[in-house]
Amino acid sequence: MEEPSFKLPEIIDNDNGWGPSPVMLPEKFRDIPYAPYSKADKLGRIADWSTPEQREKESSGRQRTNYRNYRDQYTAFGHGVSNAFAYAHAEDEASFSVVDNRSTAQKKASSYRTTGGTKGRTSGARGQTNRNVRNGQYQRPNTQTRNTPGGRAAQNAVRKRYGWKDYDKPQRARDASVNVGPDWKVLEEIEFNWLSKLNLDVENVEDISLHGFLYYYDKNYDLIRTKSEKPLIPNDKVRYFVSTSKDPIIDQLAKDDTATVFATDSVLSLLMCAPRSVYPWDIIINRVENKLFFDKRDTGVYENITVNENSFDPPLETGDKDNINSPSALSMEATLINHYFALQVVNEVRIGEKYELDKPNPFISSQEDNDMLAPTAYRYRKFDISIKEDEDISIVVRTQLDSVVKTSGGDSSLITIRALNEFDPRSQGAGGALDWRQKLDTQRGAVVTTEMKNNSCKLARWAVQSILAGADQMKLGYISRVSPKDNTKHAILGTQIYKPRDFAAQMNLSVSNGWGIVRTVIDLCMKLPEGKYVLIKDPNKPVIRLYAVPANAFEADDDLALEDGEEINEEEEVQK
């Protein structure tokens, strides 16, 4: 009798992956690929040899329950297919469904079905739940017509506040900031989504000169609260907003080849915050030899401050000139409030408190003009925006500062002053704003958050202007109407201080992204020949377009401004 023997089978390792080696597979199965599989794929029953017809026959005698309505109508893999390897992923996906696909309301209804009916939700009486159950289904009591916190009135209020049925509202078609001429040529079209991806870190900054004078900030205004509000006093002093091409300091710096690009903080901040803008705007770009000048039109309203531009329901232009809550009326009101507030909070009464800068104001020609001039500091700064080591591209920016404060160490710190204004929290266009007189002292964070949402572009421009000017602080005032129906009388409800970069970080503003946008536009214009170009924000789309325009494109606007009696050139005045 032979002894039983055991021989180990030959093991063939798979050096190219996990699992059995293809060499061990039978010949007829070697070229058949595996079906694609992922951990996220839905899996049915592991083993179900019955066909759908058999399961239907077996379940025909069972008692029909509510659960049967939600049974999984699963089709066995390979059923009805002649070839077992003819895997159809789409058919398998279509056959899948979750076991419990009831809605949230149905799940709540089933939780109310108890044995004794005593644990159900009642609306005034213990037996109300039983009366709300009909044939095993829970029926909601008719309470929507009642004026209760959960009734129709509250629901309508919530819907109105948060923009319910915004899709059903008519689209607002805004007019462009400037009419496109028939001889203008579109050179580039850039979407905001692409602009938001740009990035450029700028670290090398050089102060060129500092002009004008300032008054010290009155710290008593930091003690103002809503219960001790102060009236806002109008002021007749003026502030000059001279365009880039008419600035004598920039003109001299261009002749000395100090930089390649020249701009003002107002125009540059608008370009750097372009992805946040909603209202239309335009920037003139003049290329002279190898230099670029970012400029504004003389009839433009670049210094006018917008109100609730980024709100889900911004103020609506109705065409009524007497409407004090229209976008144009609110813009003029906000511009005057900022101008008056910046002059009121500085102390110019005490003798010897005037802070003289290195050089005088470059835009005045007589002492009489100096007496009517608002305290302003013009700081010219040079930013190196070169990317490569062998290139030399820099930009000179004229920035503005509004006041100066004394630090604890005795030094002087330059600051900017801005003001937020409240018009009527219950009117159209308020954007869900809170009542400042009730919430400003106790919920200031919520007020600031709402303003950052409704005025994202405006606040971003203020932060960028303060950063460009090298301001140590940014004073923010809260101004409200004395009466919601009167846009001429206002009161100061409080003030707040921010560091510009901290404020920018709080509203998720990337200064590097702004510099990336500026550098991209500069690179586009440097490839073009000498001439005049216009960068226009589409009034209804998040798109900017670069146009080539004739050299005399805006001379008609300048003549119109002169006919209307507006002072332009070096004596352009905009009350801010």
pLDDT of residue 111: 47
Number of domains in the chain: 1
- C-alpha 457/C-alpha 459 separation (Å) is 6
- Outline where DSSP puts E strands in 154-264: 185-191, 205-217, 230-231, 261-264
388 inside domain: yes
pLDDT tens-digit map of 245-289? 999 999 999 999 999 999 999 999 999 999 999 999 999 999 998
On whether residue 332 sits in a domain, the answer given is yes
Which residues, 6 or more positions from 396, have their beta carbon under 8 angstroms from its beta carbon? 208, 250, 253, 258, 259, 261, 262, 263, 380, 381, 382, 383
For residue 363, what are the contacts with CB-CB under 8 A and spacing of at least 6? 240, 242, 570, 571
Q: What 8-state DSSP symbol labels residue 224? A: -
* Residue 446 pLDDT > 80: yes
Q: What is the pLDDT of residue 76?
A: 46
**Domain contains 54:** no
Contact 189, 543 (CB under 8 A): yes
Helices (H), 382-455: 436-439, 444-454
Average pLDDT estimate for 354-373: 79
Query: Would you say residue 76 lies in a domain?
Result: no
Name the percent of the chain lying above pLDDT 90: 48
Tokens of 112: 């109310």
pLDDT tens track for 297-343: 877 777 889 999 999 888 888 777 788 999 999 999 999 999 999 99
Confidence of residue 118 (pLDDT cuts 50, 70, 90): very low
| pLDDT band of 547, cuts 50, 70, 90 | very high
Instruction: Give the per-residue pLDDT at 174.
Output: 84
Residue 408, pLDDT score: 78
Top mean-pLDDT range of 96-105, 412-421, 430-439: 412-421
- Would residue 395 count as lying in a domain? yes
Residue 195 is predicted with a pLDDT of 93
Band (pLDDT 50/70/90 cuts) for residue 154 is: very low
Residue 94 in domain: no
Examine the pLDDT at 208 and tell me if it is beyond 80.
yes
- Amino acid at position 500, single letter: P
What is d(CA 522, CA 533) in angstroms, rounded to the nearest whole number?
12
Whether this prediction's pTM lies above 0.75 is answered by no
More confident: 112 or 408? 408
The verdict on residue 207 lying in a domain is yes
pLDDT at 356 over 70: yes
Tokens linked to 513: 């992204």
146 or 104, which is more confident?
104
pLDDT score recorded for residue 15: 72
Domain that holds residue 525: 185-548
pLDDT, mean over the chain: 78
Phi-psi sector, 128: left (phi>0), alpha (psi -120 to 50), beta: alpha
pLDDT digit string (tens) for 486-529? Answer: 999 999 999 999 999 999 999 999 999 999 999 999 999 999 99
Q: Is residue 219 part of a domain?
A: yes
